Amino acid sequence: MSSRRSRSRQSSSSRITDDQIYDLVSKLHQLLPELRSRNSDKVSAAKVLQETCNYIRSLHKEVDDLSERLSELLATTDSAQAAIIRSLLMQ
Amino acid sequence: MDLHNLNPSSLKSRFTTRFLRALTEINARKPIASSSSPREIFQRYRRIKDAADTSMAYSVRSRRTWSKATLWRLRTPSHRRRLASFGRRSSLNKTRTTTTASHRGAVVVQITSRGGGLGVQLEELRELVPGGEAMDLCNLLDETAHYIKCLTTQVQVMRTIANLYSLE
């Protein structure tokens, strides 16, 4: 495989077809919670990508919030209670 | 979410096991003072978040570019990361990344105005998905789908654990 180093953006190689891209984009579209309810066969790729970015950002934010919540909970939870919880989960 | 009927080889179960183990370590490492300073809470938050990301990256069965990038980011101290970005403007500096070969020497493809101005969203996506700067379009979309799936699993498990911990 050749490697290219370019400073300017170039158009894509001919190996990737538009159909392939559309398939991948619609596969992504299936995963997004908001767009699933709106049943539309043709969604613009830009909209799907935009929704994807927003969704990933919201997931990151949720991870942050949950981590914060867990760190506060770890500080206050009794250790015996924590052991019970862990044994329940690890059955 | 029913945790008791977990398929033992599923992503969710692998992640849960690793993450709980990491939480135990974090708990044990620092004795829990009844009055934790905000700084301690912040440090614990960082450790928990990194443990969650690391646990998920380890739990994926097929090694993905995003999981490798996550592990690399969390294990490599930042000064070495900057050196390693030679030839590639790191997205940490929030500048436009140039294209270079990824560590496997694959051909990197840049899309400009294909499909009516996808450029901006693609840039955003590259910044959001770990390791996204050096992927071509097909791989980027594929990795994004997998990344989203794993992130939702991670959020589900973390939420359940947090709910369990907050039971009185």
The pLDDT assigned to A60 comes to 92
> Does any CB of chain B come closer than 8 Å to the CB of residue A87?
no
B146-167 exposure pattern, b = at least 16 Cβ within 10 A, e = fewer: bbbebbebbbebbbbbbebbee
Residue A12: its pLDDT value, please?
A: 47
**What single DSSP character describes residue A13?**
P
Is B48 at the interface with chain A, CB within 8 A?
A: yes
SS3 B86: coil
B110 pLDDT band (50/70/90 cuts)? Answer: very low
When pLDDT is cut at 50, 70 and 90, the band that residue A63 belongs to is: very high
- Summarize the confidence of residues A31-40 as an average pLDDT: 61
The span from the CA of A45 to the CA of A24, in Å, is 10
Tell me how close the Cα of A36 comes to any Cα of chain B, in angstroms: 15
For chain B, what is the mean pLDDT?
A: 73
Name residues whose C-beta falls within 8 Å of residue B159's C-beta, 6 or more positions apart in sequence.
A62, A66
Contacts of A87 in chain B (CB under 8 A): none
Instruction: Grade residue B85 by pLDDT with cuts at 50, 70 and 90.
Output: low
Identify the domain containing residue B62 by its residue range: 3-29+36-167
Mean pLDDT of chain A: 70
What pLDDT is stored for residue B97 in this prediction?
Answer: 40
Q: What pLDDT sits at residue B39?
A: 80
Q: Does B38 touch chain A if contact means CB atoms closer than 8 Å?
A: no
Q: Is B143 on the interface with A (CB under 8 A)?
A: no
Q: Return the residue in B3, B138, B146 with the most chain A beta carbons within 10 A, the one to mutate for interface testing.
A: B138
**Dist. CA A43–CA B115, nearest whole Å:** 12
- What pLDDT, on a 0 to 100 scale, did the predictor assign at position B106? 33
Which positions 88-127 of B are in contact with A (Cβ < 8 Å)?
98-101, 105-112, 114-119, 121-122, 124-125
Does position B90 have pLDDT exceeding 80, yes or no?
Answer: no
A66 and B41 within 8 Å at the Cβ level: the answer is no
**Rounded Cα gap, residues A45 and A28, in angstroms:** 10
Quick one: pLDDT at residue B6? 61
Rounded to two decimals, the ipTM of the complex is: 0.71
SS3 A6: strand
Backbone angles phi, psi at A9, to 5 degrees: -75, 140
Contact B16 A67 (CB under 8 A): no
Q: Which of A5, A13, A52 lies closest to B109 in CB terms? A: A13
**What is the pTM for the complete model shown?**
0.71
Q: What is the domain count for chain B? A: 1
